[in-house]
Amino acid sequence: MFSSFLSFIHQEKKKIEGMRRADAARYLFDYYKLPALALLCALLLIVYFTAVLLRPKVEPDLQVLFVNCYDSVSANSDFAKSFEDHLAQSGTPLQFQFDANVFFNLEKSSDYASAYFQKTIAQLEGGTADAIVCSRENLLGIASGGRVMDLSQAYFERYADRLILLTTQEGETVPVGIDLTGCAVFEQLGFYPEGACLGISAYTEKIESVLVFLDFLFQIEK
């Protein structure tokens, strides 16, 4: 195959050498413009995908999962824009990502095997979700597996009257979430009309970012 290719190149070279320069240029353009264009496109694609693969992955400072949320939390939503305004007013440079594509109800034992629940567990344990907003029943179900943080630290003293307790098999009570009922932002935007609570991933290293988010939800002034 390689020898045939070399033979073809040699024949084309002899053909071009017998032409005037203008005729040779026209010949090359007419017969090889499509292969040349295809090669150029292939090279550009290779360069593009190589750049994408080699580009460092930048993780946001805060990632929150919203379970059974039927309101928009996308970057263009009123909720996200309200958080952006809060960050700007407080002078807090924080990149965030909200995800509401999660639906399950742990009051049904079958939902422990659902794809949405497994996605949630993977994100909490993998460190790609720092906090989760959900119903009390869902939070307690997730907390029973040790996947949310014990909130007995001093960070959360301001929410002492809102702490949600889990009773362990040993009979110990552990604060695993914060009741968001009546929080200023949710009431204003009509989020979770039947109430919700917030749990923090036991694997996150971004507690300060979660505290900023909590301050926003309750509109606590610094």
Domain segments of the chain as ranges: 2-54, 62-217
Flag whether pLDDT at 126 surpasses 80: yes
| Integer angstrom CA distances of residue 208 from 1, 62, 128, 213, 214 | 64, 9, 16, 9, 10
Which pLDDT band, with edges at 50, 70 and 90, does 221 fall under?
A: very low
Q: In this structure, what DSSP letter does residue 49 have?
A: H
Nearest to 198 by CA among 127, 124, 95: 124
Cα separation, 180 vs 191, in Å, equals: 10
Which pLDDT band, with edges at 50, 70 and 90, does 222 fall under?
A: very low
H or E segment to which residue 96 belongs: strand 96-102
What is the percentage of the chain residues whose pLDDT exceeds 90? 51
Q: 62-217 in CATH: which number?
A: 3.40.190.10
Top pLDDT among 171 and 102 is at 102
Each residue of 64-91: pLDDT tens digit? 999 999 999 998 999 999 999 999 988 8
β-bridge partners, 175:
165
Q: pTM here?
A: 0.72
Could you give the angle at the alpha carbon of 188 between the alpha carbons of 187 and 189, nearest 5°?
A: 95
Which pLDDT band, with edges at 50, 70 and 90, does 46 fall under?
A: confident
- Helix segments in 57-202, DSSP class H: 78-90, 115-126, 136-143, 184-189
Flag whether pLDDT at 56 surpasses 60: no
Task: State the average pLDDT for the chain.
Answer: 83
Each residue of 27-39: pLDDT tens digit? 555 665 666 666 6
Cα separation, 77 vs 100, in Å, equals: 12
Residue with token string 């807090």: 92
Cα separation, 107 vs 141, in Å, equals: 8
Q: What pLDDT score was predicted for residue 196?
A: 95
